[in-house]
């Protein structure tokens, strides 16, 4: 049922909690305890703002198991404003065409349904930043 | 050229089987066909060790422990055998293990078999299994597929380097042209650039012809230390000049520059360094072309084009059989067919046939040095080998 797999990373999935390296100040997501930049130990918690921009994206139609109901959907590589990049679905696009460089912000949505009786996995998606009129 | 090993590691035999939807053949039967073919080609040379390249059998056939299963099925109880998994690079990494064993001197002859059986499951189960080569917790959980990942890289590449969309057509056209005369290829009809331009979109900007079809297949090579060969082999001796594997972050988003295949670059640099050959010396490159963007990035990683210019090699037909750097000389994954963990063995086998002058109508004239590379996932693992005729250098 893999409940524990998702429970372990809930802070990452629901709140984009990562780490900051005390040696080189690199922001790290997801947390990995060893800084990928300088190689030193990095365990200090860091809360990402959820703001970023689209590095690239694509809309897919052939969905894997667990995502069939969502198809078609758009996935993206999002560069968080603090530096790290994440993979996530784009959501709330409505009629808007995604664009490289588009400003997006994190929201929490259903990622996957593990069958009729399986668990629902929630986590981060990104929606276009709504600009004030 | 420098040769950094005391004893030549020779490719003593090649066994390639047709790629396709083999409803009537099981995983073990597919493997056996390739094993028998390779052993016959090697004049009956018996391997002491078997290395299997496979990525999906546990998920799709509910079958693990392929080393024991396939060695036993081939009548080789008592030898040592293991399966090697590294996503789409499984075949190349399996070849690497055989090379290491033979170099150590503790093994004298080895067979490396790549096998993949994907037609026993419906397509979205296959897709889900393929996604295990990505980062489960931070990529696959979001529903991003190998196609969508390649699409994102391709889109970004087009954006950064201002590449015309139809620039990628040449990769597909070349692959299909080369497969016409490959009896083992899944697709044997040439396509026109026009066909490419009109192809349906799979995951934008990737169209049907940017993506290779996944199908059943098996290929094997027999390796031997030259000092134990029982006399002359039936075919010219091909030596493994270099063997190098490398890894990078599994997730695209963890790489400093997603448009540089660092694992590919590093393993190719090592292979060049070890063999003493450089890009200019390479007569053909069997590269990873399950999506055309990977072919482009592999060419850049291998120093055949500058960063952001790999796509130009297709425009000028440099990648065609008569070009400066022929690729996919038997059709590549695109037209021969993508056989997952078996890819590395089809590549090594095809490169060997080229160097031995046994490539028939696909023959690259005067082929002396071949470069072979397969990738795992979106480039997280790269396995590279340089092969050359023994009388070269």
- Domains, chain A, ordered by start: 3-128 (2.40.50.840)
Of B124, B135, B138, the CB nearest to A64: B124
Q: B204 and A59: CB-CB below 8 Å? A: yes
- A18–chain B Cβ distance below 8 A for any pair: no
- Chain B hits for A57, CB-CB cut-off 8 Å, are 152, 155
Q: Contact B240/B233 with Cβ under 8 angstroms?
A: no
Mean pLDDT (chain B) is: 95
Supply the DSSP string of B337-373, one letter for each residue: -B-GGGHHHHHHHHHHHHHTT--GGGPPTT--EEEEE
Rounded to the nearest angstrom, the minimum Cα separation between B124 and chain A is 5
pLDDT tens-digit map of B183-242: 999 999 999 988 998 999 999 999 999 999 999 999 999 999 998 887 788 889 999 999
Q: Contact B154/B269 with Cβ under 8 angstroms?
A: no
Nearest to A58 by CA among A13, A111, A99, A107: A99
pLDDT of residue B392: 66
Q: What is the DSSP letter of A132?
A: P
* Other beta carbons within 10 Å of B315: 15
- B50–chain A Cβ distance below 8 A for any pair: no
pLDDT tens-digit map of B117-152: 999 999 899 999 999 999 999 999 999 999 999 999
Beta-bridge partners for B217: B116
pLDDT of residue B228: 84
- The Cα B126–Cα B162 span in angstroms is 34
**Omega before A76 within 30 of 0, i.e. cis:** no
Query: CATH 3.30.70.270: does it fit domain B9-389?
Result: no
Tokens coding A72: 């078609």
pLDDT tens-digit map of B319-364: 999 999 999 999 999 999 999 999 999 999 999 999 999 999 999 9
- The Cα B198–Cα B208 span in angstroms is 10
pLDDT of residue B1: 39
Per-residue pLDDT of chain A (133 residues; tens, 9 = 90+): 578 999 999 999 999 999 999 999 999 999 999 999 999 999 999 999 999 999 999 999 999 999 999 999 999 999 999 999 999 999 999 889 999 999 999 999 999 887 777 788 999 999 999 775 4
- A36–chain B Cβ distance below 8 A for any pair: yes
Q: B203 and A89: CB-CB below 8 Å? A: no
- Chain A hits for B163, CB-CB cut-off 8 Å, are none
pLDDT of residue B2: 41
- A35–chain B Cβ distance below 8 A for any pair: no
Of B142, B145, B156, the CB nearest to A56: B156
- A83–chain B Cβ distance below 8 A for any pair: no
What are the backbone angles phi and psi of residue A29, rounded to the nearest 5°? -145, 130
Q: Contact B208/B199 with Cβ under 8 angstroms?
A: yes
Residues 6+ apart with CB under 8 A from A19: A27, A28, A29, A31, A32, A33, A42, A43, A44, A45, A46
* Other beta carbons within 10 Å of B305: 18
Of A9, A70, A76, the CB nearest to B137: A9
């Amino acid at each position: 049922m893999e409940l524990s797999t998702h429970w372990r990373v809930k802070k990452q999935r629901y709140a984009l909690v990562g780490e900051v390296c005390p040696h080189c100040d690199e922001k790290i997501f997801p947390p990995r305890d060893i800084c990928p930049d300088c190689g030193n130990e990095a365990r200090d918690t860091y809360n990402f703002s959820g703001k970023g921009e689209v590095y690239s994206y694509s809309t897919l139609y052939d969905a894997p198991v667990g995502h069939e109901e969502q198809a078609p959907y758009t996935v993206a590589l999002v560069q968080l404003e603090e530096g790290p990049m994440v993979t996530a679905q784009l959501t709330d696009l409505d009629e808007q065409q995604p664009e490289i460089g588009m400003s997006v912000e994190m929201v929490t949505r259903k990622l996957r349904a593990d069958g009729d009786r399986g668990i629902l996995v929630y986590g981060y998606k990104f929606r276009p930043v709504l600009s004030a009129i | 050229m420098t040769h950094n090993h005391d004893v030549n590691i020779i490719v003593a035999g090649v066994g390639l089987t047709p790629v396709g939807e083999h409803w009537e053949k099981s995983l073990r039967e597919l493997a056996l066909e390739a094993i028998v073919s390779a052993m016959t080609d090697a004049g009956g040379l018996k391997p002491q060790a078997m290395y299997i390249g496979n990525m999906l059998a546990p998920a799709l056939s509910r079958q693990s422990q392929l080393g024991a299963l396939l060695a036993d099925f081939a009548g080789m109880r008592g030898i040592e055998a293991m399966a090697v998994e590294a996503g789409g690079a499984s075949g190349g990494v399996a070849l690497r293990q055989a090379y290491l064993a033979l170099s150590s001197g503790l093994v004298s002859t080895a067979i490396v078999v790549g096998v993949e059986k994907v037609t026993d499951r419906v397509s979205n189960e296959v897709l889900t299994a393929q996604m295990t080569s990505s980062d489960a917790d931070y990529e696959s959980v979001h529903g991003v597929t190998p196609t969508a990942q390649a699409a994102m890289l391709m889109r970004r590449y087009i954006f950064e380097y201002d590449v015309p969309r139809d620039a990628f057509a040449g990769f597909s056209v070349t692959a299909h042209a080369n497969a016409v005369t490959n009896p083992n290829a899944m697709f044997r009809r040439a396509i026109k650039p026009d066909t490419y331009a009109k192809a349906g979109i799979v995951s934008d900007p990737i169209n049907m012809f940017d993506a290779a079809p996944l199908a059943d297949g098996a290929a094997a090579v027999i390796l031997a230390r030259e000092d134990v060969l029982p006399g002359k082999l039936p075919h010219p001796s091909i030596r493994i000049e270099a063997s190098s594997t490398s890894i990078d972050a599994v997730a695209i988003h963890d790489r400093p520059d997603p448009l540089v295949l660092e694992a590919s670059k590093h393993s190719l640099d090592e292979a060049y360094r070890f063999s003493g050959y450089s890009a200019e010396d390479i007569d053909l490159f069997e590269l990873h072309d399950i999506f055309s963007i990977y072919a482009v990035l592999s060419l850049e990683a291998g120093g055949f084009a500058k960063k952001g210019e790999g796509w130009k090699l297709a425009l000028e037909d440099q990648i065609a059989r008569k070009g400066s750097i022929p690729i996919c000389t038997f059709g590549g994954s695109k037209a021969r067919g993508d056989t997952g963990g078996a890819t590395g063995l089809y590549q090594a086998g095809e490169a060997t046939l080229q160097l031995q002058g046994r490539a028939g109508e696909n023959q690259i004239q005067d082929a002396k040095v071949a470069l072979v590379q397969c990738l795992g996932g979106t480039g997280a693992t790269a396995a590279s080998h340089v092969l050359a005729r023994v009388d070269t250098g």
